[in-house]
């Protein structure tokens, strides 16, 4: 098999965990932590990172293997002896990818150079073409609408498939999906799920209530964390798509849709000392036999970025399989299984089984 050449937009904590993880599994025979060992004939070891794009002066110009450990990244370092990748981090345009308060937070925020605005679309497209990237992975901060659309345009012009990991709706938008289909390029999105994260646990509990005949009357999911994602989301104006994405992911698993006042899903607060650890406080109130009230409370603590990387690495390989097969547009099953806001919501157990069939089906029989 050929390698899968990947360009990363946003060299933050999620990129760090993904890049560390690929190096880790190349160096070790462990399969612990993998959702799927092989996708479309590709293992994790087949992934090669060929380009990084960021706006922070502490990362631009460095090899990707070094940049992933630069501030303000603060996720767990589980592969400290990273081999050089040979891929440099180039400067990208900031656009709306940097919230104003993130430039005033010292070492924990972003340090953006004045010349970032001068970076053109042609420069990004040229870099993607020169790197011969197969797939572009979007790790921009939540709320980066214009910046995401800019890079989607670049990917379409450069001929790159896309894994859209953030809650800016591209794969689930009919017009954008049509553009990828017209270019013969696949996309997985939007808003990557975690391997065992707050939303997937919430969905599983919601499905459990429905399967056991108990009704859900009210529920909330409140999350805290200390990474740049949580700091970025202190600007509540950047949260509309994020809240919609997470809320719809949970609503889709409920037997009966809840009124808006009875469901709250979303980030709660930035706690600096938590670093990349995310803590979820989840409560479900419902009724059981005889309409007797019941409630459930759960606390989940997990390192946020490795949790996402386990899903991203599969999404990358499903994207490459689609490229090999000549498939294009939004990939329904990978998007439904790995993303919170896919074009079509499908229960995890159903999507997982269909994915196994999809992976082994002949190209002409694939969706």
- Which tens digits make up the pLDDT trace of 80-137? 999 999 999 999 999 999 999 999 999 999 999 777 677 999 999 999 999 999 999 9
Query: How does pLDDT run across 191-224, given as a tens digit for each residue?
Result: 999 999 999 999 999 999 999 999 999 999 999 9
Cα separation of 329 and 256, whole Å?
31
Cα 272 from Cα 335, distance rounded (Å): 32
Residue given tokens 């940097």 in the structure block: 98
**How many residues does the structure list for the chain?**
367
pLDDT of residue 255 exceeding 90: no
Q: What is the C-alpha to C-alpha distance for residues 285 and 43, in angstroms, rounded to an integer?
A: 42
Measured between its terminal Cα atoms, the distance across the chain in Å is 23
Q: How confident is the model over 321-350, as a mean pLDDT?
A: 96
Q: How do residues 53-81 score in pLDDT, each as one tens digit?
A: 999 999 999 999 999 999 999 999 999 99
Q: Tokens 């969706």: give the residue.
A: 367
């Amino acid at each position: 098999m050929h390698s899968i050449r990947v360009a990363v937009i946003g060299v933050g904590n999620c990129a760090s965990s993904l890049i560390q993880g690929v190096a880790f599994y190349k160096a070790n025979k462990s399969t612990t932590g993998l959702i799927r060992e092989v996708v479309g004939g590709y293992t994790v070891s087949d992934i090669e990172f060929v380009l990084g794009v960021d706006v922070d002066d502490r990362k631009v110009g460095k090899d990707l293997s070094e940049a992933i450990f630069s501030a303000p990244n603060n996720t767990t370092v589980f592969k400290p002896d990273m081999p050089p990748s040979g891929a440099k981090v180039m400067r990208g345009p900031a656009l709306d990818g940097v919230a104003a308060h993130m430039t005033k937070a010292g070492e924990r925020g972003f340090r953006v150079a004045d010349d970032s605005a001068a970076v053109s679309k042609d420069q990004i497209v040229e870099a993607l073409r020169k790197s011969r990237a197969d797939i572009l992975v979007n790790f921009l901060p939540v709320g980066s609408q214009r910046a995401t659309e800019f890079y989607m345009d670049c990917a379409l012009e450069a001929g790159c498939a896309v894994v859209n990991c953030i809650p800016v709706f591209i794969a689930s938008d009919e017009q954008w999906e049509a553009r990828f289909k017209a270019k013969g390029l696949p996309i997985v999105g939007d808003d990557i799920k975690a391997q065992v994260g707050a939303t997937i646990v919430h969905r599983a509990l919601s499905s459990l209530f429905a399967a056991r005949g108990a009704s859900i009357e009210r529920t909330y999911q409140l999350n805290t964390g200390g990474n740049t994602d949580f700091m970025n989301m202190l600007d509540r104006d950047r949260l509309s798509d994020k809240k919609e994405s997470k809320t719809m992911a949970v609503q889709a698993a409920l037997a009966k849709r809840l009124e808006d006042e009875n469901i709250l899903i979303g980030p709660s607060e930035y706690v600096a000392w938590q670093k990349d650890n995310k803590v979820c406080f989840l409560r479900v109130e419902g009724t059981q036999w005889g309409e007797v009230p019941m409630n459930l409370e759960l606390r989940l603590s997990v390192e946020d970025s490795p949790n996402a990387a386990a899903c991203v690495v599969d999404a990358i390989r499903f994207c490459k399989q689609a490229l090999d097969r000549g498939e294009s547009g939004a990939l329904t099953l990978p998007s439904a299984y790995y993303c919170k806001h896919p074009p079509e919501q499908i229960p995890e157990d159903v999507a997982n089984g269909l994915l196994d069939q999809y992976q082994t089906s002949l190209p002409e029989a694939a969706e």
